Amino acid sequence: MPSFFSAKNHSLPERVYRWFSWAGAYAPLLMLFVAILIIGSLSRAFLVAWQFDRVAETSVWPSIFIHGLRVDLIMAGMAVAPLVLLLPVLGHRFSWMVWKRLTSIWALIVVFVFLFMELATPTFITEYDTRPNRLFIEYLDYPKEVLSMLWEGYLPTVIVGILLCISLTVLFACLMRSWSREAQSGSYRKAILVWPIVVLAVFISVRSTTGHRPANPAMFALTSDALVNSLIINSTWSVAFAIYNLKHETDASDSYGQMTMSKILDEVTSAPWLRSYEFNDNKSPTLHKQTPVKARTRPLNLVIVLEESLGATFVESLSGTPVTPRLEALKDSGWWFENLYATGTRSVRGIEAVVSGFLPSPARSVVKLSLSQTGFFTLGGLLNQKGYDTGFIYGGEAHFDNMRSFFTGNGFDSIVDQQDYTNPAFTGSWGVSDEDLFEKAHEDLQKLHVSGKPFFRLVFSSSNHTPFEYPDNRIERYDEEKNTVNNAVKYADHALGDFIDTARNSDYWNDTLFLIVADHDARVWGDELVPIKNFQIPGLILGADIESRRIETITSQIDLAPTLLSLMGIAGEHPMVGRDLARFPDAPGRAIMQFNDYYAWMDDRYNVTVLRPDQQPLAGVYSRETESTEYLADAPEETAIRRALAHALLPLELYREQAYGLPD
């Protein structure tokens, strides 16, 4: 084997290449394979050092590098596999030039992509507390918003990452240049003789297990900290697996387990608040007739204010940072939720829960899925049938997250977004400010009230979003630095408070029910498998004749829509399985949370059941005092598993069969 220190007249890349030249036609494959292992290991070492406090508390430290090497071997094997299969055809001397060019180009592309994904990882972790995953793919559909967010919030990091990615790729290109100059080396006959061994080695590397199924990210979910689990794998594999799952997402729930539809329905409809209803529609098995707890001669109007990322972590009375004084001041004006939980971590997940009462699933939100763009139940569709004028008011671009398509196809008469604002006071990366949004909403509500037609408006804020831009001289900053999440929340609270004050002094107040609720928390992260504390959100129902009340029972976002209909005085059929809190205030509550690939069910005694893909469920107990979950050694009770599994499987069954709509 040639010495690294010999041939002193050769450049460094040429001397490095000499270590691989013995492999003949396999040299570029070996270089690519080793490069992926080195990049993956160095990146993981940096990330572990950065997040060492989290990593050191887990059971996988310090074996995380051994597990990580196994994952990198999978990725390296996948990278060289296509070339290995082509070698018998192109490794011959008649096609040697084609082989050199193909292997060089392929290796450079793979190394660039792998480098890019690893260098993008720290920024993604900062925002989402995990490696790039399905969110990374979904955000590619919105380059304008994402580029604006990166430019305003992460510009130095982005510049350094791009320069590093280009520089390291160029360095690898210099190494490949030595290969591109190589005359045919080695014997084609020898290359073919060892080919079966190489194929077997690559197959073993990719499969990485002797089990029934090949390795997948779930195999490396070894701790209760989702971030640490993601550090074990590499970002390219994480995103590639997410792409694969997106193509098979309607079958995603199968990884939790299987259950017949009849048993699913028996379990779901046995909830105390559903037992008295009749479910007789074969097409829509959860369809039932709800009667309001309070009959009204003229049902109330409805305004839902969906606050972007306004979790309980920003509400002092809910053990959060004191940056929502205006919201706190309204607590005694209506129904204040002390124990309300979001169903997910994305805006579209909050929308489907609040507007459709739809259970979360391991697939993407139905707001983005194809079969739910028409004929899918929403409050807009139901109220539209009741003669309401229905609409969506947003400060950004309504095409984001497919909201425009979902709303217009499911009962919303009008859409107002960024292009409909004339001379807004402030425009940031995600649209106009919340002040502009609420001013537009107030003008719209006044006109609707004058018309005499009942109305429903969904008003969705956007100021509390990275990079946290808002107009100057509106608030006394909580943090000295301006563009922080705490300051953005305080501004959003300021704009919300002004809107409610304006509405309270308007003619439409006495005829209108208002719901203020968050879509999700700002950053749902932590060292737990499912960070339940970050799922808690504030909620407030006020307006009209609503009296002061504290809702202390555990409540889910899917309970809000049935409760609103009951308070409005609306009778009608719908497929929602949430609880009408006006009629069943004392029924045992529960929270349902989808987090990455995990599905958590928490009952009224704070017992937690976590479903995991291709793994056994976990049992735990959540403590509100410590805001953490203690997982138990024993498996959950069979009844708890069955209940959680039924609710996890039901939404995709209803989606697949297009069975979550209004009666014809």
Q: Are 407 and 435 in contact (CB under 8 A)?
A: no
pLDDT at 5: 42
Q: Give helix 155-180 / helix 96-128 axis angle, nearest 10°.
A: 160
Q: Are 347 and 520 in contact (CB under 8 A)?
A: yes
| pLDDT classification of 148: cutoffs 50, 70, 90 | confident
**Which residue matches tokens 């994402």?**
146
Which residues, other chains included, contact 435 with Cβ-Cβ below 8 Å and sequence gap of 6+? 425, 426, 471, 474, 495, 498
Q: How far apart are CA 38 and CA 162, in angstroms?
A: 19
Evaluate the CA torsion angle 305, 354, 567, 447 in order and state its sign: positive
Instruction: Specify the higher pLDDT residue, 576 or 3.
Output: 576
* Residue spans of alpha helices (H) in 591-662: 638-656
| pLDDT classification of 4: cutoffs 50, 70, 90 | very low
What's the DSSP call for residue 447? H
Q: How far apart are CA 367 and CA 371, in angstroms?
A: 10
Q: Judge whether residue 532 has pLDDT over 60.
A: yes
Instruction: Specify the higher pLDDT residue, 219 or 367.
Output: 367
Does this model's pTM top 0.85? My answer is: no
CA trace torsion 152, 157, 158, 159 (10° rounding): 110
Q: Judge whether residue 660 has pLDDT over 90.
A: yes
% the chain with pLDDT above 70: 95
Q: Are 288 and 574 in contact (CB under 8 A)?
A: yes
CA trace torsion 598, 603, 607, 608 (10° rounding): 0
pLDDT at 1: 45
What's the DSSP call for residue 314? G
pLDDT at 7: 46
Q: Judge whether residue 155 has pLDDT over 90.
A: no
Which residues, other chains included, contact 571 with Cβ-Cβ below 8 Å and sequence gap of 6+? 289, 290, 291, 292
Lowest-confidence region among 240-254, 357-371, 434-448: 240-254
Q: Give helix 27-50 / helix 96-128 axis angle, nearest 10°.
A: 10
Report the DSSP beta bridge partners of residue 431: 428
- Mean pLDDT (whole number) for 570-574: 95
Tell me the backbone φ, ψ of residue 34, rounded to 5 degrees.
-65, -40
pLDDT at 398: 87
pLDDT at 186: 62
pLDDT at 247: 65
| pLDDT classification of 9: cutoffs 50, 70, 90 | low
Query: pLDDT averaged over the chain?
Result: 90
299-319, pLDDT tens digit by residue? Answer: 999 999 999 999 999 999 999
Domains, the chain, in order of start with CATH, read 13-247 (no CATH), 291-536+550-556+564-589 (3.40.720.10)
Q: How far apart are CA 339 and CA 115, in angstroms?
A: 43
Which residues, other chains included, contact 114 with Cβ-Cβ below 8 Å and sequence gap of 6+? 35, 36, 39, 40, 75, 79, 234, 236
Report the DSSP beta bridge partners of residue 361: none
DSSP assignment string, 127-171 = HHSSSS-HHHHHHTT-HHHHHHHHHHHSHHHHHHHHHHHHHHHHH
pLDDT at 565: 98
% the chain with pLDDT above 90: 66
319-348, pLDDT tens digit by residue? Answer: 999 999 999 999 999 999 999 999 999 999
pLDDT at 39: 95
**Which residue matches tokens 């920024």?**
123
Lowest-confidence region among 144-153, 564-573, 622-631: 144-153
pLDDT at 129: 83
CA trace torsion 152, 154, 156, 162 (10° rounding): -110
How many other C-beta atoms are found inside a 10 Å radius of the C-beta of residue 163?
A: 11
Lowest-confidence region among 166-180, 386-400, 431-445, 611-625: 166-180
Q: How far apart are CA 22 and CA 366, in angstroms?
A: 55
Q: Are 286 and 269 in contact (CB under 8 A)?
A: yes
401: left (phi over 0), alpha (psi -120 to 50) or beta: left
Q: How far apart are CA 155 and CA 250, in angstroms?
A: 37
Q: What number of residues does the chain have?
A: 664
Q: How far apart are CA 397 and CA 413, in angstroms?
A: 17
484-517, pLDDT tens digit by residue? Answer: 999 999 999 999 999 999 999 999 999 999 999 9
**Maximum Cα–Cα distance across the chain:** 95
228-274, pLDDT tens digit by residue? Answer: 888 999 999 988 887 876 665 555 556 788 899 999 999 999 999 99
Q: How far apart are CA 406 and CA 81, in angstroms?
A: 41
Beta-sheet pairing, 607-612 with 598-603 = antiparallel
14-72, pLDDT tens digit by residue? Answer: 778 788 888 888 989 999 999 999 999 999 999 999 999 999 988 888 899 999 999 99
